[in-house]
Structure 1
Amino acid sequence: MGKWTAEAIPDLTGRTYVVTGANSGLGLESTRMLAARGAHVVMTSRDRLKGEAALARIGQDVPGASLELRILDLADLESVRAFAEGLRNDATRLDVLINNAGVMMTPQRTTKQGFEMQFGTNHLGHFALTGLLLDLLAAGDDPRVVTVSSTFHKQGKIDFDDLMHAKGYSPTAAYAQSKVANLLFGFELQRRLTAAGSPVRSLMAHPGYSNTNLQFAGPTGWRKALMHVANPLMAQKPAIGALAEVRAAVAPDAVGGQYYGSPSLFESRGCPELVQPSRLAQDPQVAARLWDESEKLTGVFYGI
């Protein structure tokens, strides 16, 4: 079989996708690809002006694109609840949720509810969002949740005694924890969906090393300087990196519990294929404990 590229995306007419963090990087490229094949895409952005600029840009690139912009700040659970309530009140159809947005290697900061910024945004925000939208997804056609992780998850561990990294904060360690949490959530979600007989499937993806503004928006100091040097030399185009989450979201043969990523050069480059997560990411006991903690922290209880 050949490489999986955008040409493999089937006709998506009549299907609705929510893409978090759709105003730039991987989210922008995923939205462009989905819209080009006829999908209606609900783009989310925490910044209205940036979101409107992205919507206009895709509208120019994809004439007739079916798009709408909604504000969502994953670092604020009140915003997450308001977003989900808005979709429900507007009777918005939902077939696929792509949990794409994220922050990377930020200085020590907290979300509105006081969670460490990376864990709170990358994991808890998407955990809450998925739970609040699960009923809408269950009524969709071939419904899926796609959660985006990173190769950095292989460096991650879950410190249940210090989930917020209050002791000896490390931007890299906190980021790695949030990314392994994404995979623990994705695999555990699939286990619970299967046990409940739900039609929704949970899949996961990572973009390899992609040249996006994620590497510049969060890191500071030497980390940011390193990205400025390494990105132009080593990183692949975001349109390639985004293919992994798009494949998980649209491929007819995709199966719940699969994890797609760039396969070459230590999973840094290439069109998406199935890749292997770390042993920790697949640990059902750690996943179940993290799930319980996440429900308590967010106040979103799945009931599955």
Structure 2
Amino acid sequence: MTFSLPLPDLHDRTFVVTGATSGIGQATAAALAGAGAHVVLAVRDAAKGERVAATLGGDTEVRALDLADLSSVRSFAAGWDFPIDVLINNAGVSVPERRVSADGYELQLATNHLGPFALTNLLLPHVTGRVVTLASLAERAARLDLDDLQRERTPYKEFGVYAGTKLANLLFTAELQRRLHAVGSPVRAMAAHPGFVSTNIGQEGGPVARAMTRLLAQSPADGALPVLHAALADLPGDSFSGPQHLLHMRGGAEVIARSGKAKDAAVAARLWSLSEELTGTRFPLGATEETAAPEV
């Protein structure tokens, strides 16, 4: 199923968008607010969030959230007391050297996977519709070592670590959907790949990066289309949305394929268990034998 603007009327619906102060997150928030939704910008810099919200119009609010700090994630969730139609786990980072989060975890893993994992589990009792997590076709190049998630023994290479977190996002989505289905929840877990989007990283890089960005990259508004597709289109749970054209790198939105690694249920279950240990959060909806992870 393809997807395009304009969006349907979203009055009386609430969306939480993490990392909504720039790029794809800001474009997603702008599209949702423009369609009448109540949009919560969950952002690390609340002052910047207020400035961005002022440009969006519509019904918006800003709440502080640092996904690289589990105490911030818990505070955000503890302050929530009304239904969420769609939680959009958009925020993510890519850093050139190994750094650690406030909790001592490798920063890309903490921000791109562990923070969204904890946030989703803590907010899930309030979610009525969908959880959308931004992944990437970079997952196809990933080697995710579950015995060294923190990259303490494996040499640190920025893209390799980033790709691993995007594979983790797809594995998380698959296992979350399995658990939701097991307890009969109507909530759907979805993933989205925004394609090749123009960012400050590409524009400020070397001549090759700048040329590729200028010639091939699409705007954040176009990159938001697969996210909106995952959030709003009539799709089954665990769907993966991405652009339609240029090898799923730009233009429109449709359901796309993922690698075999991203379909490995045993790895997804083990990653879930490890993530529970690292974050201290668990699947909150009617935990039963049916929701327990399969034997690995």
Q: What residue in structure 2 maps to residue 49 of structure 1?
A: 47
Q: What residue in structure 2 maps to residue 77 of structure 1?
A: 70
Shift of 1:69: 0.3
CA-to-aligned-CA distance 1:260-292 (integer Å, 9 cap, x gap): 001322221110111001111111000000000
Unaligned 5+ segments in structure 2 are 292-296
Q: 1:166 aligned to 2:156?
A: no
Q: What residue in structure 2 maps to residue 220 of structure 1?
A: none
Q: What residue in structure 1 maps to residue 106 of structure 2?
A: 116
Q: Say if 1:234 and 1:258 are closer, same or farther in 2 by CA, change over 3 A.
A: same
Alignment of 1:161-200 (within 5 A): 161-167=147-153, 168-200=155-187
Q: Which segment drifts farther, 44-53 or 68-77?
A: 44-53
Q: What residue in structure 1 maps to residue 219 of structure 2?
A: 237
CA-to-aligned-CA distance 1:69-125 (integer Å, 9 cap, x gap): 0010000000000011111xxx23211100000002432111111111111110000
Which residue identity does 1:297 align to in structure 2? L
Q: What residue in structure 1 maps to residue 126 of structure 2?
A: 136
Distance, in Å, in 2 between the alignment partners of 1:294 and 1:14 is 34
Q: Which segment drifts farther, 164-173 or 189-198?
A: 164-173
Q: Say if 1:12 and 1:161 are closer, same or farther in 2 by CA, change over 3 A.
A: same
Q: Which segment drifts farther, 206-215 or 43-52?
A: 206-215
Local SS of the residue matching 1:95: strand
Local SS of the residue matching 2:110: helix
**How many pairs are equivalent?**
284
Distance, in Å, in 2 between the alignment partners of 1:169 and 1:216 is 24
Q: Choose which of 246, 251, 259 in structure 2 pairs with 1:278.
A: 259
Shift of 1:179: 0.3
Q: Choose which of 136, 140, 153 in structure 2 pairs with 1:150.
A: 136
Q: 1:293 aligned to 2:274?
A: yes
Shift of 1:130: 0.1
CA-to-aligned-CA distance 1:150-179 (integer Å, 9 cap, x gap): 111111122012111123111111101000
Shift of 1:37: 1.0
Alignment of 1:7-26 (within 5 A): 7=6, 9-26=7-24
Q: 1:4 aligned to 2:7?
A: no
Report percent identity of matched pairs. Answer: 48
Q: Which segment drifts farther, 143-152 or 259-268?
A: 259-268
Q: Say if 1:289 and 1:225 are closer, same or farther in 2 by CA, change over 3 A.
A: farther
Local SS of the residue matching 1:6: coil
Q: What residue in structure 1 maps to residue 232 of structure 2?
A: 250
Q: Say if 1:37 and 1:175 are closer, same or farther in 2 by CA, change over 3 A.
A: same
Shift of 1:49: 2.4
Which residue identity does 1:149 align to in structure 2? A
Unaligned 5+ segments in structure 1 are 60-64, 218-222
Q: Choose which of 33, 36, 39 in structure 1 pairs with 2:34.
A: 36
Distance, in Å, in 1 between the alignment partners of 2:276 and 2:208 is 37
Shift of 1:225: 6.2
Distance, in Å, in 1 between the alignment partners of 2:133 and 2:37 is 19
Distance, in Å, in 1 between the alignment partners of 2:76 and 2:265 is 30
Distance, in Å, in 2 between the alignment partners of 1:81 and 1:24 is 23
Q: State the TM-score, normalizing by the size of structure 2.
A: 0.92
Distance, in Å, in 2 between the alignment partners of 1:231 and 1:17 is 30
Distance, in Å, in 2 between the alignment partners of 1:99 and 1:226 is 30
Distance, in Å, in 1 between the alignment partners of 2:18 and 2:248 is 23
Alignment of 1:87-106 (within 5 A): 87=80, 91-106=81-96
Q: State the TM-score, normalizing by the size of structure 1.
A: 0.89
Displacement over 3 Å in runs of 4+: 213-217, 223-229
Which residue identity does 1:93 align to in structure 2? P
